[in-house]
Chains A and B, each alone.
Chain A
């Protein structure tokens, strides 16, 4: 685990973040099912299905939504392979591991007893573990499909027309825009340190370096924000935020919205 220094691992985290961003921009321009719909319909529709996932009480209902999610993914040209890697394996590794002890410690009727260890797995334990993992998988699949098929700016504008306050939307947009700039800056700082490092640094030296880099990054960030502020003033900013949204509902959007909401309600009703 600590064979690789924190520098390398952090740098890897950065590259992962940037490549994730680039990947999602690519899928948004494909001619798929979701891409045909108004972004507002996509946001509301997917959100409705995610809420349905957590309202359902039965395994079969949640599994049904998962199937729907996969269908939407395929129809929207989202690669199953990337879903499997980005979502399914990660969730399994994380929530799967968390759910494992629940098999044993959830009280209820014993299903199966491990001979040597005298630990028994209860029916309720199995059900709860599967419920949890399935819920997380399905919800994550739905949100990933949304993000991959919709440009970030469209998601924000959809949220704006759904009456999220303009300041919040602007802050989300600006944060997203500058994340990549700051990642690049931090990247450069780390890379230059890495090339200068002679030998392996001790834990406390690495900690100091992390803190110092964060400190430099903070100073630069505050400076950047002050310059951005001046640039905004210079172009007429007075505190009110005006965003241009030109989404227009087409007949297929009404259809899409109806299908999403109907499906969500149906599954919840059947799975209660």
Chain B
């Protein structure tokens, strides 16, 4: 299978604080990946490096054979090409909705990539229809609910028809219904040439959205495997701060054992 991302031993720091340390991974075309880690594990930073927004101070990152360096991204042709093919959906939608109306927001990407005016209008209206947000066309972003914002953010990157979708905590803070809608979407959005990489700490969605899981902790990959392999490794999950142990009650009895909130009902003996 053709390779999409080759990340070799990269390191990255914010000012003096290291965020990524000696990280290596390989992602093939068509992969559905979950980057699993607690807050601060470096998964957001990694997504940004994959989207060529940050450049590592050590190591290399290549996308389909092309090196992602600052110099390379300064070349117009490569820049336009890359920005269209790889899309990142940020964790905080407010950050991504910086245009005056929903229509302007979805049109932003196409406009920057210099599509013709007619093409832009046509594709944007199409996208709004597909995402069922046509009624929000002229709405300013501060008058949208959280769920609506996330849909607009998604629409604004999907309109470019990218090959790679990077999602940063897409289901965090969403109500269960919206959460399941997002999960459905990720499951549908596939195809042999399309890659999805989702960063999340929510164990309950991992099985649905990924075929392969990388577990991150303190800026490096500590484990790799299939969802069932990873989710059954309690020691690993504890170490990565993805589950916790504390006293709780169910079944009328108080006890403590490793678990995470949102875990489907479990039965065990007392």
Q: Tell which of A151, A177, A224, A236 touches B113, judged by Cβ atoms closer than 8 Å.
A: A236
Do A224 and B53 have beta carbons less than 8 Å apart?
A: no
Contacting A at CB under 8 A, from B47-95, are: 48, 51, 53, 79-80, 83-84, 87-88, 90, 92, 94-95
Which residues of chain A are near B140, meaning CB under 8 Å?
Answer: 25, 152-153, 177
A-B contact count (CB 8 A): 76
Given contacts A177-B140, A224-B95, contact A234 B88 (CB under 8 A): yes
Bound CA–CA A127/B113 (angstroms): 59
Selected contact of A177 from candidates B83, B98, B138, B160, CB within 8 Å:
B98
Q: Which residues of A contact B120 (CB under 8 A)?
A: 244
Among candidates A151, A173, A237, residue contacting B112 with C-beta atoms closer than 8 Å: A237
Contact assessment for B100 and A233 in the assembled complex, using a CB-CB cutoff below 8 Å: no
- Residue of B96, B97, B99, B142 with highest tally of chain A CB at under 10 A: B142
- For residue A246, which residues in chain B have a CB less than 8 angstroms away from its CB? 117, 121
Query: Closest CB of chain B to A35's CB: distance in Å?
Result: 14
- The reply on A8 being an interface residue by CB < 8 A is no
The answer to whether residues A235 and B112 also contact, given A177-B142, A227-B92, A244-B117 and a CB cut-off of 8 A, is yes
B104 touches A177 (CB 8 A): no
Q: Which residues of chain A come closer than 8 Å to B178, judged between CB atoms? A: none
CA distance A174 to B140 in the complex (A): 11
The answer to whether B100 touches A152, judged by C-beta atoms less than 8 angstroms apart, is: yes
Asked if residues B95 and A173 are in contact (CB atoms below 8 Å), the reply is: no
B156 within 8 A of A: yes
Q: A152-B100, A236-B83, A236-B109 are in contact. Are A227 and B142 (CB under 8 A)?
A: no
Contact A235 B100 (CB under 8 A): no
A177 to B121, CA, bound (A): 22
By a CB distance below 8 angstroms, the chain B residues around A156 are 100
| B112–A231 CB distance below 8 A | no
The 0/1 profile, CB within 8 Å of B marked 1, for residues 200-243 of chain A is 00000000000000000000000010011011111111100011
Q: Do A242 and B95 form a contact, CB below 8 Å, given A152-B100, A234-B83?
A: no
Does A176 reach chain B (CB closer than 8 Å)? yes
For B107, list chain A residues within 8 Å (CB): 244
For A152, list chain B residues within 8 Å (CB): 100, 140
- The answer to whether B94 and A181 have CB atoms under 8 Å apart is yes
Given contacts A153-B140, A242-B112, A244-B117, contact A232 B104 (CB under 8 A): no
- How distant is the Cα of A233 from the Cα of B113 in the complex, in angstroms? 12
Given contacts A234-B88, A235-B83, A235-B157, contact A180 B142 (CB under 8 A): yes
Question: Which of A25, A176, A238, A242 meets B79, CB within 8 Å?
Answer: A238
Q: Check if B87 sits within 8 Å of A236, measured CB to CB.
A: no
Q: Does B260 contact A (CB under 8 A)?
A: no
B226 CB–A CB distance under 8 Å: no
Contact present for A236 and B112 (CB under 8 Å): yes
User: In the assembled complex, which residues on chain B have CB atoms less than 8 Å from the CB atom of A153?
Assistant: 100-101, 104, 138, 140
Q: Do B48 and A230 have beta carbons less than 8 Å apart?
A: yes
State which residues 121-140 of B face A: CB under 8 Å.
121, 138, 140
- Whole-angstrom CA separation of A252 from B116 in the bound complex: 29
* A73–B80 CA distance with the chains assembled, in angstroms: 47
Distance (Å) between the CB of B77 and the closest chain A CB? 12
A180 to B156, CA, bound (A): 21
> From residue A185, how far is it (CB to closest CB) to chain B in Å?
10
In whole Å, how far is B168's beta carbon from the nearest beta carbon of chain A? 11
Query: Which residues from chain A contact B141 at a C-beta distance below 8 Å?
Result: 177
Q: With an 8 A cutoff between CB atoms, is B111 at the interface? A: yes
The interface centre, meaning the residue of B100, B101, B120 with most chain A CB atoms within 10 A of its CB, is B100
In whole angstroms, what is the CA distance A181 to B97 when docked?
Answer: 11
- Given A153-B140, A230-B48: A238 and B100 interface contact (C-beta under 8 Å): no
Q: Which residues of A contact B160 (CB under 8 A)?
A: 235
Task: Give CA–CA (A244, B87) in the complex, Å.
Answer: 22
Given A236-B109, A246-B117, output 10 extra A-B contacts at Cβ < 8 Å: A152-B100, A152-B140, A153-B101, A177-B97, A180-B142, A227-B90, A227-B95, A230-B95, A235-B83, A236-B84
* 26 CB-based A-B contacts, threshold 8 Å: A152-B140, A153-B101, A153-B104, A153-B138, A173-B99, A176-B100, A177-B98, A177-B99, A178-B98, A224-B95, A227-B90, A227-B95, A228-B98, A230-B90, A231-B96, A231-B98, A236-B80, A236-B84, A236-B109, A236-B112, A238-B79, A242-B112, A244-B104, A244-B107, A244-B111, A246-B117
